[in-house]
Amino acid sequence: MIRYYESVGLIRPADRTDSNYRDFGERDVRELQFIRRARDLGFSVEEIGQLLSLWRDRARPSREVKAIAQKHVADLDARVAEMQAMADALRTLAKGCAGDDRPDCPILMDLAERDGGVLRVRQKVVRSPNPVYSGVSRTRS
């Protein structure tokens, strides 16, 4: 990962020892820890680059940092809502499946339908801090 971070410009290439090992200073280690924590929070490489630039700039306005964080929270909320809609759709399909020795199964029938079949997960994403989802609805093909 370190080579990747160097190649995309998140960190400067590390100095090398005579035996060609990377030689990291304290600043390098702090930046790598910063990147790791940002990745753990799900920030993209582009967002991490922006955050690193702001972190390195001691005269930065905190409103820029907050704006990046708030946008990321909105993106995470949208992804959570999408996953919840998928889980709800699958939960509904699983309730309709007898789960016995019979071969008919609404889960497989739904997966085989090109347009979403028996259950369709409809999502209306409004790009705002509070995305709106219409959720799961039952439709017949």
User: Which residue pairs from 122-127 have beta carbons closer than 8 angstroms and sit at least 24 positions apart in sequence?
Assistant: 123/81, 123/82, 123/85, 125/78, 127/74
Instruction: Tell me the pLDDT tens digit for each residue of 7-30.
Output: 999 998 888 899 989 888 899 999
Confidence of residue 116 (pLDDT cuts 50, 70, 90): low
Confidence of residue 128 (pLDDT cuts 50, 70, 90): very low
The answer to whether the beta carbons of residues 35 and 11 sit under 8 Å apart is yes
Instruction: Tell me the pLDDT tens digit for each residue of 59-90.
Output: 999 999 999 999 999 999 999 999 999 999 99
pLDDT of 119 over the 60 cut: no
Of 11-15, 32-36, 47-51, where does mean pLDDT reach its minimum?
11-15
Q: How far apart are CA 105 and CA 108, in angstroms?
A: 6
Using a pLDDT cut of 90, give the percent of the chain over it: 62
Q: What is the pLDDT of residue 133?
A: 35
Of 25-34, 39-48, 54-63, 122-131, where does mean pLDDT reach its minimum?
122-131
The answer to whether the beta carbons of residues 125 and 131 sit under 8 Å apart is yes
Q: How far apart are CA 9 and CA 50, in angstroms?
A: 11
The torsion angle over the Cα atoms of residues 106, 111, 116 and 119, rounded to 10 degrees, is: 30
Confidence of residue 115 (pLDDT cuts 50, 70, 90): confident
Residue length of the chain: 141
Q: What is the pLDDT of residue 93?
A: 92
Arithmetic mean of pLDDT over the chain: 84
> What is the SS3 assignment for 68-93?
HHHHHHHHHHHHHHHHHHHHHHHHHH
Domains of the chain with CATH codes: 2-56 (1.10.1660.10), 85-138 (no CATH)
Question: For helices 26-40 and 45-56, what crossing angle results, to 10°?
Answer: 140
